Structure 1
Amino acid sequence: MFNRKTVLAATSATIALFGSAGVAHAQAFYLQEQSTRAAGRAFSGEAADTGAASLWWNPAAIGGATEGDAVVSATLILPKGDVRNNGTVIRRPGQAFAPVGGEQDSRNPINNGVLPAGAIAVPLNDRVAVGLAVTSPFSFTTDYASDSWARYSADRTKLLTIDIQPSIAFAVTDWLRVGGAANIEYTDASLSNALPNVSPLQPDGRQELNGNGWDFGWTAGFQMHNEVATIGFSYKSAIKHTLNGTLEVSGLLAPIPAAQNISVDDAEASFYTPAQAIVAGRFRLGDKLTLNAQAINYQWSKFDAIRLGAPINQAIPENYKDSWSLAGGFDYAVSPSFTLRAGVQHATTPTRDGERDARVPDSDRWNYGVGASYEVNQRFGLDLSANYVDFEDATIDRPTATGLNTPLATVVRTSGTVENARAIVLSAGGHVRF
């Protein structure tokens, strides 16, 4: 009556593979810090700019290049925020709802991190160029205390992705550039959560899921330009990720059958990361000032469920919604060797009220950026940027349950908020022409 399949499906819903990422960066668990230059103007013109620094956003950026170009960057991400309990209660079998207990205010659960990125472009002739970008678009680590009020939906989560994007671009005419790329993505994940036992006097059990895999997507785009304006459009496909790994459930005590403490060595989970439709423009107002604008539609509704393969064979609903980011900024050439830039970006969250858990304490946000580039000589330059990201307060309100439709069913009614969330993002990089 309390079979293994029921336990695995219900408790897996509380860890929601990749339904996690926290209060920093672009949206949900997407990181946009793939270029120091882009961060300095709050990601306001990347699909319309040229060179290796814009490859992630638009492979057409290198079409018609006349010399080799390479960029590297390292970004320090410093998120802060409180994930606070506002009355979460738990109902164990045969008992009334009672406070969940534990640490009531989880401060700064998203770890600091350093995000590297790099790209290179090489012209084959005066119209065709090839390039390669290496980025990490979905990576973070989050930790909650073992006695946190949110422990039944989130404990520790670690995610690493490495995206390898080989690209090719053509200058079809003097005013039109087109490009295409493959996205080869490696993903490694480890995530866990506590499991409630039947008696509040018993210690919690635990569940941990680990997995990795290689998956594929694509990017295509074009740019139209003249002496004053460049308009760029690109589309990054959704990627279906399939992770293979292990699932372990331990620490469940009687009257839960001991057989529910299991180890599965061939667990599988699949899910989609979102497609992106990007449109951008850059407009020269004289020799010194360039205005930038960019809009992105993130097709997060593709992340509708996490599908767990055998032996679980369940679909866990996520129900993300499509979302947007809008950005504007400028570049100002103070001198031939020194450029200042700044911008502002607003992005909406794909998470929904009533379905947001502690793994994704995400909300709408404003991103304010400033940056500069200095050309040390004709071949080498330095880039710096700083961003302040301000997040709206949001509810943490996704219920969890184990053993549904059995006499040992346990339900957690989650009621919390993410408050005072912000992030400081500092980036440094270099670029070289050859």
Structure 2
Amino acid sequence: MNKGRILVGTAAGAMAFGMAASASAQAFYLQEQSVRGQGRAFSGEAADTGVDSLWWNPASIGGMDGGEAAVHASAILPRGKVVDNGTVIVRPAQAPRSVGGDPVAKNPINNGVLPSGAVAYGNGKIAVGLAISAPYNFTTNYDADSWARYSADKTKLRTFDIQPSVAFMVTPQLSIGAALNVEYADATLSNYLPNLSPLLADGHQTLKGDGWDLGWSAGAQYRTDVVTLGLAYKSSIKHKLSGDVTTEGLLGPLAAQNRVIDTTATFRTPWQAIGSIRVKATPQLTLNGQIVRYGWGKFDDIRLGAPLNVALPENYKNSWTYAGGLDYDVNPQWTVRAGVQYGETPTNDGNRDARVPDSNRWNFSAGTSFKASERFTVDAAASYITFKDAPIDRITAAYAGTAAQTPILTNGELQDASALVFSLGARVAF
């Protein structure tokens, strides 16, 4: 039996080194890199100025005279159920039977806290900045007796993005900027493996890996007294993670597969093309709009290196988010915000599994800023995100291509999913 065959249809068949539904933008992308932006549902970030918009558009710091720094933290509290509607397993020479286990997995995505921050300094013409963020982060846990155990058990993904940026005022109205994205990814994911007899306890498989990789960002802003337009692009990042696969607990003819294999995994994050507008409708009221096109088609497969040498299809599709919001200055010290965002899922029916229970969502947000002094501002925001029910229906096979091939015909559903996000931040000028 080829030593890579187990991997083809089990953990790695749905892996992506940690691609589970996030509580925010799309699939496994978290957009909470600004409390100010969250308050208006991320509806004007590529067109706004200052360090809070640096993640979306490096041109945002163009024209800065002096320095500014910001820190943020977001508590993300997802809820929902992943429900079995009749998943079956087909062991060799045996009739199909229920996969068994607890048919309802409640709240499989863990609560989390997402930190971020940025700093920049300029002389009115040229500005340099640095943003630190965690755009792809989550942890999921399915119980050992869950119906989804052959697709997902425990998953952890941590990314850290370091974005040095520079911006230049070409004219008094036009700012252009560029940045590098130095991104670290660390992932662990696991799932159970069926033994050939339903009377035997399951085996188990764990994949681990990490690595540093590079991408880039670029953008421009055109500013007038009434309207600001922003355009930006963030590249896809090709991640190559070095790690290993540990297989254990297999019995009988499968016992020879219990081992640790060193390998690599390569996958791509999506590119982003962002268009944003801010309109000062009155001296107190600013209206915001933003559209983002995500290049999730880049995440079409995961390629595992030697000695496994397999490509695992993911088949994500490019998708959109649309957002509108407002900022209202109650007085010179106090600003309130609100916004709505709609996001499409990049996952497709027929390819969605319990590790990636993603769906279309609506994001309803509100926030506020209080300028405690000329140099110090406190930001707060809260969001309610609701997800559409969606099928969990990806068919996989353990030990694919061998005499032990064991298909798992998944039939489940994501139900009643939602999330609350509470964020607090501070900005200081210097």
Q: Which residue of 2 aligns with 1:91?
A: 90
Q: How does 1:336-375 map to 2 (within 5 A)?
A: 336-375=332-371
Alignment of 1:75-86 (within 5 A): 75-86=74-85
Aligned residues: 430
Distance 2:16 2:68 in 1: 38
In the alignment, structure 1 residue 42 sits paired with structure 2 residue 10? no
TM-score w.r.t. structure 1 length?
Answer: 0.98
- Which 5+ residue runs of structure 2 have no aligned equivalent? none
Residue 376 (structure 2) aligns with: 380
- Which residue of 397, 416, 427 maps to 2:423? 427
Write the mapping of 1:233-248 to structure 2, written as runs, cut at 5 A: 233-248=231-246
SS at match of 1:145: coil
SS in 2 for 1:395: strand
Give the aligned partner of residue 188 of structure 2. Answer: 190
Counterpart contact for 1:15–1:193, Cα < 8 Å: no
Map 1:269-308 to 2 at 5 A. Answer: 269-308=265-304
Q: Does the 8 Å contact 2:22/2:30 carry over to 1?
A: no
Match for 1:11: what amino acid? T
Q: Which amino acid aligns with 1:370?
A: A
Q: Which residue of 2 aligns with 1:159?
A: 157
Instruction: Tell me the distance in 2 between the aligned counterparts of 1:23 and 1:396.
Output: 16
Indicate the SS of the match to 2:253.
Answer: coil
2:314 is the counterpart of 1:315: no
The 8 Å contact of residues 383 and 430 in structure 1, kept in 2 or not, is answered as yes
The AA in structure 2 aligned to 1:183 is N
Match of 1:137 in 2: 135
CA drift at 1:389: 0.2
| Other structure's SS at 1:152 match | coil
TM-aligned CA deviation for residue 337 of structure 1: 0.3
| Amino acid in structure 2 at the alignment position of 1:302 | K
Query: Where does residue 260 of structure 1 map in the other structure?
Result: 257
Q: Distance in 2 between matches of 1:237 and 1:373?
A: 31
- Residue 74 of structure 2 aligns to a residue whose secondary structure is strand
2:220 aligned to which of 210, 222, 235: 222
Q: Secondary structure at the residue paired with 1:350?
A: coil
Q: Tell me which residue corresponds to 1:122.
A: 121
Letter in 1 for 2:124: D
| Aligned amino acid, residue 61 of structure 2 | I
Equivalent runs, 1:20-35 vs 2, <5 Å: 20-35=19-34
How far residue 23 of structure 1 moved from its aligned partner, in angstroms, is: 4.6
Show the counterpart of 2:101: 102
Partners of 1:420 and 1:187 in 2: how far apart?
A: 30
Distance in 2 (CA, whole Å) between partners of 1:249 and 1:126 is 58
- What letter corresponds to residue 58 of structure 2 in structure 1? P
Aligned counterparts of 1:404 and 1:280: Cα–Cα separation in 2? 47
Contact 2:18 2:157 in 1 (8 A): no
Structure 1 residue 196: Cα displacement? 0.6
Helix, strand or coil at the partner of 1:8: helix
Aligned-pair distance for 1:378?
A: 0.4
- Check the 8 A contact 2:11/2:151 in 1, yes or no: no
Quote the residue 1:59 is aligned against: 58
- The aligned amino acid for 2:407 is V
Contact 2:42/2:341, CA 8 A, preserved across alignment? yes
Residue 71 of structure 1: aligned partner? 70
Instruction: Quote the offset at 1:12 in angstroms.
Output: 4.3
Q: Secondary structure at the match of 1:325?
A: strand
Is contact 1:17-1:191 (8 Å) kept?
no
Identity of aligned residues (%): 57
- 1:168 partner letter: V
Q: CA deviation at 1:15?
A: 4.1
Whole-angstrom distance in 1 between the partners of 2:414 and 2:157: 21
In structure 2, distance between residues paired with 1:19 and 1:381: 36
Q: What's the Cα RMSD here?
A: 0.9
- Out of 247-256 and 150-159, give the one that drifted further: 247-256
